[in-house]
Amino acid sequence: MRTTIYMGMSLDGFVARLDDTLDFLGGPPDSTAAEGSFESEVGASFAAFMATVDVLVMGRRTFEVVVPFPEWPYGKTPVVVLSRTLTAVPDGVPPTVRITSGEPAEVLRALEADGAQHVYVDGARTARDFLAAGLITDLVVTHVPVLIGTGITPWGPLPHDVRLKLVSTARFAGNAAQSHWSVVRGAPPR
C-alpha cells in the first residue's frame, strides 16, 4: 500500500500561517481558473493525484481548516479524520467523512485490510507523525514562490534520517516547483 504526503508549501517549508490561513499558497485548487494559470495547473495536478487515491487520512486541525472551504475538495473519496477529541462529524460535511481515535499504524492496517492501495496523508502534524513512525512511502512537495518566515510545517524531529529517491519534478505555470520523492526502505539509520 502506498501512503503519500502531498503538500503545497512556501519555499521555507510552511503549509499554513500560524493562524491556519493559506493565502500564500494561491488558494485552494480551482477548477474554474483560466487554463494555463497557476490555479488551474495546480488544480489539474491535484485532480490527477486524487484520482489515484483510495482513502484520505488527515489530522483534526487540517479537517477544521478545510470544512469552511466553499467547495469540499476531496469529491467522493473516503476521508478518515484522526482525532481524540471530535466525536461527531459537523453539519454539512459529506457522508464520506468518518472520525477515528485510532493510532496511525492501526488505522493504516485497517485500511489496507479493507483493500486500500493508496492513502493520502494530509495535515502537517499528521504528516510528521506518520513520517516519524516510518509509515510514509511517498512525498509530493510543491514549493510555491514565497518565503513566509513562520508558520505550520510538516517538518520536525525524526528518530532517524529518512532517505529519499527523487521520482519526478514538475513546474506549475512556470512559478512553482513540484518534486515527488519516494522513501527508501531499509536504509540504515545514521
Binding positions for a second copy, rule: CB under 8 A: 11-13, 23-24, 131, 139, 141, 143, 145-150, 155-159, 161-166, 169, 171, 174-177, 179, 181, 184, 190
d(CA 83, CA 125): 12
Of the pair 110, 170, the CB lying nearest a second copy is at: 170
Question: Is 155 in contact with 110 (CB distance < 8 Å)?
Answer: no
CB of 86 to a second copy, least distance (A): 29
Question: Is 13 in contact with 148 (CB distance < 8 Å)?
Answer: no
CB of 110 to a second copy, least distance (A): 26
- Residues 6+ away with beta carbon under 8 Å from 177: 142, 143, 169, 170, 171
Of the pair 1, 162, the CB lying nearest a second copy is at: 162
CB of 179 to a second copy, least distance (A): 4
Question: Is 43 in contact with 65 (CB distance < 8 Å)?
Answer: no
CB of 36 to a second copy, least distance (A): 15
Of the pair 100, 137, the CB lying nearest a second copy is at: 137
Of the pair 55, 124, the CB lying nearest a second copy is at: 124
Of the pair 23, 71, the CB lying nearest a second copy is at: 23
For residue 30, what is its C-alpha cell? 480551482
Beta-strand relationship, 118-122 and 97-100: unpaired
What is the residue type of 52? T
CB of 138 to a second copy, least distance (A): 12
- Residues 6+ away with beta carbon under 8 Å from 185: none
